Structure 1
């Protein structure tokens, strides 16, 4: 049984079909990446898993449980953390307050502090900015904060939507280093990314989406070496 499985998932945005019978799996402890052009359905796939976009047909199975009809807050309680495209931090709240919101369901203050220290172990710069307003941070720092806020949930599955978008190359390298470090520490990760080279380099497996359908799939290194993939997404 796969950790996460999408079976023949179809989803719509209004009258527009965004996903067409998607089949994919994520095994425990993997990094699985979704790559493809704008409008391919990558972000929609994450949103259907988290409950932000309803599934029209098919099913989403998480750790053996059918979560197809779950609302977003219910999916979150099952241990699925979704870091959306564009970071979506609270700009007028401090870094500390943003992190605390990530642990909104936790009453134990000691546990919250422990989780915060764990976030700082991955993102020392976030600790340095603890009392700064989120909106005054750089783009890279905001991305670190967004991931840190998700980690405050202590999730079992971390879904990242375009974590490198708009960042300088040196910051992109740092973000992907942290993604690999999180996975090495046992985190299962589903990654949506337009930077196909970086994504496939760290991923165990990948799926290539085109206009709402899966076009190719395979091991990350295999896709990275595929000349068709290279020409379409890495050139």
Structure 2
């Protein structure tokens, strides 16, 4: 079943066109990755889906609902959690307070408690640092916190923007293991990632984007073995 569908999306920053007729689909239960060089339009695609960037034309449907008619906060309430590039946690709030911010729309304290426990099971380090200010944590811990905060929303689609950026290799491995675990438990994931090798290894399907246009689509393993992809992104 198609969970998310973009059809010929055109997005701009002022007079500069960032996305050119972008069309893509994410099916329920998939990991779909979007790879490309810096400035290719990967982050803009996620921002357009989450409503931070309003396209000039095109269609976006999530569970057959038209997202373009909704304000950003309502898009989140529909079940789309966006973990932005650079994490953007609340540096002056504690780990627990950051996580609780992710559940801002949840009134049932029992559900919040259950989701906190789930996040701590994925990221035991966050439990250890529950009262620590977010801004004093390492980059890897902040990334865990950003993902955990998104999970507190109870999303059905998790969008991750450059989760490995600036992290040590061992932390990157841990983050990708969690992404695979989440997916194995039923989470649909749209992954933007500079580390194309890591992304394509776990992705069911991938899209290659260059200068705002989709250039190639295929299964993750197929794209990994494509000579053009190897030369441009895996060398």
TM-score by length of 2: 0.99
Q: Indicate whether 1:195 and 2:198 are aligned.
A: no
SS at match of 1:101: helix
Instruction: Report deviation, 1:111.
Output: 1.1
SS at match of 1:29: coil
SS at match of 1:53: coil
Unaligned runs of 5+ in 2: none
SS at match of 1:52: coil
Aligned match of 1:32: 32
State the distance in 1 between where 2:12 and 2:168 align. Answer: 34
SS at match of 1:3: strand
Instruction: Report deviation, 1:107.
Output: 1.4
Aligned match of 2:22: 22
Aligned match of 2:79: 79
State the distance in 2 between where 1:228 and 1:12 align. Answer: 28
State the distance in 2 between where 1:2 and 1:171 align. Answer: 32
SS at match of 1:171: helix
TM-score by length of 1: 0.99
Instruction: Report deviation, 1:69.
Output: 2.9
- Confirm or deny: 8 A CA contact 1:51 1:68 kept in the other structure: yes
Unaligned runs of 5+ in 1: none
State the distance in 1 between where 2:169 and 2:72 align. Answer: 33
- Confirm or deny: 8 A CA contact 1:5 1:62 kept in the other structure: yes
- Confirm or deny: 8 A CA contact 1:81 1:157 kept in the other structure: yes
Residues 121-147 of structure 1: CA deviation (Å, up to 9, x unaligned) = 111111111000001110000000000
Aligned match of 2:45: 45
State the distance in 2 between where 1:71 and 1:50 align. Answer: 9
Aligned match of 1:120: 120
State the distance in 2 between where 1:187 and 1:12 align. Answer: 30
Residues 154-204 of structure 1: CA deviation (Å, up to 9, x unaligned) = 000000000000000110010000000000000000000000000000000
RMSD of aligned residue pairs (Cα, Å) = 0.7
Instruction: Report deviation, 1:55.
Output: 1.2
SS at match of 2:93: coil
State the distance in 1 between where 2:110 and 2:74 align. Answer: 25
Aligned match of 2:135: 135
After the TM superposition, which residues 87-126 of structure 1 pair with which residues of structure 2 at under 5 Å, given as runs?
87-126=87-126
